[in-house]
Amino acid sequence: MPEAVPPEGGTPQETTLRGAHVELRGISKSFGGTRALEGVSLTIGRGSIHALVGENGAGKSTLGKIIAGAHAPDAGQLLLAGEPVRFHSPRDAIGHGVILIAQELSIVGSLTVEQNVFLGVEPRNKGFQNRRELRRRYKELAASVGFQLDGHVNAGQLRTADQQKVEIMRALCRNAQLIVMDEPTAALSRQDVEALHAVIRQLAGNGTSVVLVSHFLNEVLELADEVTILRDGRLVQTVPAAGQTEETLMAAMLGRSLDATFPAKRPGPADAPVVLSVRELRAPGVNDVSFDLRAGEILGLAGLVGAGRTEVARAIYRANRVYSGSVTVTAPAGTGKAGTGKAGKDKEITGTPRTALRAGVLMIPESRKEQGLLLGRSVRENVSLSTLAQVSRAGMVQPGSERRTVRDVLTRVDARGGGQSSPASALSGGNQQKLLFARSLLSDPTVLIADEPTRGVDVGAKRAIYELLTSLTDSGLGVLLISSDVEEILGLAHRVLVMRGGRVAAELTGDDVTEAAVLGAAFGAAERGA
């Protein structure tokens, strides 16, 4: 098998020599009435990096969880080193050297890094923790994987990338031979992604097998030895990563070829009226930010994680405290519904998110599960939440009117999966995000702030969201788009503000909007070599 492989990783030749680590035969799994996996068979070579890709709902996370014992398959067999095994719990899997690092990290924030790493397997001395031994073992472990991470600091203070390192070390000190990582880089800034990639390569180099569940195809191509593509719970193919491109993977995932990811960009509306005017805004993490947003414009807010992008959005929306500065919303004449009298009037946002909403600004927050949705409540309640007054008479919600309104707007955003009465938690990530868009549309905003609108969303839903954003601007809406995905910013924004250290480091327009320019400004002179 003479493919070109990254020299750092375990080579396929080695993989074959070391043999199969895990073998899945005809794995099927259903949740309730939904079939998540059907008859999936694949082999993961020892010491290899095996990527699972597919759209959201394709079953890749489920498959990862089955390998790691977090779910039990309904049918099929799991062979570990040739022996059939049946994991009854993640703990059971850990006993067999298989560990899952889930998307949501399980760090105990109030404990130190070393305590987190050895949580549950602390060196003991007559029932008491042996701190000296703990420290010694931690240093040994950190040195062996080459992590520069102080063991004494509270794990809760660490950046996500470092918390991920803690999780990896936790896995290693439990003698993990196979680590399943579910979207390990989804919440990381670019430099942290690089660091984590190096770690993953090193793990594989040391003979640990890695199953990588990821949405990022470039990451998959960069890291993986083999790629398994899933579609609708079925295996499409398992192929060596070498020889694949993002296009071939995407085509296999979608079952059709995807020529353009981004909708055609219309020219930026240079002389359109200003709808949002931010002046000298100071807030936690925001240091003197001023800018204008025009009607029909998508303004991209780029920068590294922690550069203050989300903080700007939250300050504008008054989700966070604001120290000083002003935010003014002006609905351009001709928009807005007749009789609401909102056109042409300046409205300053003060106080709470409620006042921001009233002024015509809507924010789709960064984390849809924690800040956006009422997961346990129905789709209908989630969508109508901000605009209940529209479907109510004398404070009483009119069920018929609400149902019709919600149905119409759900069609507009093309949200699928489950009826209006099913809980929001039952929907896939992409459809959950569409619910938030639907909620926003109902309040007919002048300005929409979309904070990472495509995070953890599958390729198809991404495209739908891009098209939605574009069509919204066509109708005169101003969009402030925050994204960690530079391509997304490049593909959608008419103008880009790059943030660094709570300030606007650069404003890019027209042909200046390039990946190099955005990243250059984002890292800037203040790059601290991290």
Partner 1 sequence: MTQPQARLLGTAREGGIIYPFIVLFLVLAIWKGQTFYGKTNLLEILDQQASFLIIAAAGTMVLIAGGIDLSVGATYALCQVIATKMAESGDPVLAIFVGVLVGIGVGAVNGVIATFFRINSLIATLAMSFVITGVATLVTNGNLIIAYSALGFANLARTQFLDVTTAAWTMIGVVIILAIVLSRTIAGRYMYAAGSNSEAARLAGVRVQWIKLATFAISGGAAGLGGIIDASRVLSASSANGGTTLTFTVLAGIVVGGTSILGGAGAIWRTVVGVLFIAMIGNGFTLLAWNALYEQITLGVILLLAVGGDAWSRLRTS
Q: How far apart are CA 481 and CA 496, in angstroms?
A: 9
User: Residue 353 interacts with partner 1 (CB under 8 A)?
Assistant: yes
Of 134, 179, 357, 415, which lies in the binding site for partner 1, with binding defined by CB under 8 A? 357
Nearest residue (CB) to partner 1, 296 versus 453: 453
Q: How far apart are CA 512 and CA 515, in angstroms?
A: 9
User: Residue 29 interacts with partner 1 (CB under 8 A)?
Assistant: no
**Phi, psi of 168, rounded to the nearest 5 degrees:** -65, -45
Nearest residue (CB) to partner 1, 397 versus 530: 397
Neighbours of 306 (CB within 10 A): 16
User: Residue 57 interacts with partner 1 (CB under 8 A)?
Assistant: no
User: Residue 300 interacts with partner 1 (CB under 8 A)?
Assistant: no
| Tokens at 146, concatenated | 């080459």
User: Between residue 372 and residue 391, which ones bind partner 1 under the rule CB under 8 A?
Assistant: 372-377, 381, 384-386, 388-389
Which H helix or E strand runs over 22? strand 20-31
- Range in contact with partner 1 (rule: CB under 8 A) among 37-45, 208-216, 333-341, 367-375: 367-375
Nearest residue (CB) to partner 1, 243 versus 351: 351
Given a contact cutoff of 8 angstroms between Cβ atoms, the answer to whether 226 and 233 are in contact is no
Of 250, 319, 327, 469, which lies in the binding site for partner 1, with binding defined by CB under 8 A? 319
Residues 6 or more apart whose CB falls under 8 angstroms from that of 350 comprise 318
Nearest approach in angstroms of CB 109 to partner 1 is 18
Nearest approach in angstroms of CB 225 to partner 1 is 34
Of 32, 120, 339, 529, which lies in the binding site for partner 1, with binding defined by CB under 8 A? 32
Size of the site for partner 1 (CB under 8 A): 33
Nearest approach in angstroms of CB 30 to partner 1 is 7
**C-alpha 201, offset from chain centre:** 22
Nearest approach in angstroms of CB 442 to partner 1 is 11
Nearest residue (CB) to partner 1, 285 versus 353: 353
Q: Per-residue b/e over 195-211, b at no fewer than 16 CB within 10 Å?
A: bbbebbbbbbbeebbbb
Nearest residue (CB) to partner 1, 281 versus 357: 357
Nearest residue (CB) to partner 1, 142 versus 361: 361
Sheet bearing 346-348, strands edge to edge: 286-294, 274-283, 324-330, 346-348
Which H helix or E strand runs over 433? helix 429-442
User: Residue 371 interacts with partner 1 (CB under 8 A)?
Assistant: yes
Sheet bearing 298-303, strands edge to edge: 361-364, 447-451, 478-482, 298-303, 495-500, 503-509
| Tokens at 68, concatenated | 């790691």
**Phi, psi of 125, rounded to the nearest 5 degrees:** -140, 100
Q: How far apart are CA 358 and CA 353, in angstroms?
A: 9
Q: Are strands 274-283 and 324-330 parallel, antiparallel or unpaired?
A: antiparallel
User: Residue 75 interacts with partner 1 (CB under 8 A)?
Assistant: no
Nearest approach in angstroms of CB 424 to partner 1 is 9
User: Residue 316 interacts with partner 1 (CB under 8 A)?
Assistant: no
Task: Count how many Cα atoms sit within 13 Å of the Cα of residue 260 in the half-sphere of its side chain.
Answer: 8
Nearest approach in angstroms of CB 433 to partner 1 is 13
User: Residue 456 interacts with partner 1 (CB under 8 A)?
Assistant: no
Of 18, 30, 77, 460, which lies in the binding site for partner 1, with binding defined by CB under 8 A? 30
Q: How far apart are CA 172 and CA 229, in angstroms?
A: 27
Nearest approach in angstroms of CB 357 to partner 1 is 4
Given a contact cutoff of 8 angstroms between Cβ atoms, the answer to whether 194 and 201 are in contact is no
User: Residue 317 interacts with partner 1 (CB under 8 A)?
Assistant: yes
Q: How far apart are CA 151 and CA 173, in angstroms?
A: 14
Nearest approach in angstroms of CB 351 to partner 1 is 11
Nearest approach in angstroms of CB 207 to partner 1 is 36
User: Residue 511 interacts with partner 1 (CB under 8 A)?
Assistant: no
User: Residue 400 interacts with partner 1 (CB under 8 A)?
Assistant: no
**Residues of this chain that bind partner 1 (CB under 8 A):** 30, 32-33, 74, 317, 319, 352-354, 357-358, 363, 365, 370-377, 381, 384-386, 388-389, 392, 395-397, 425, 439
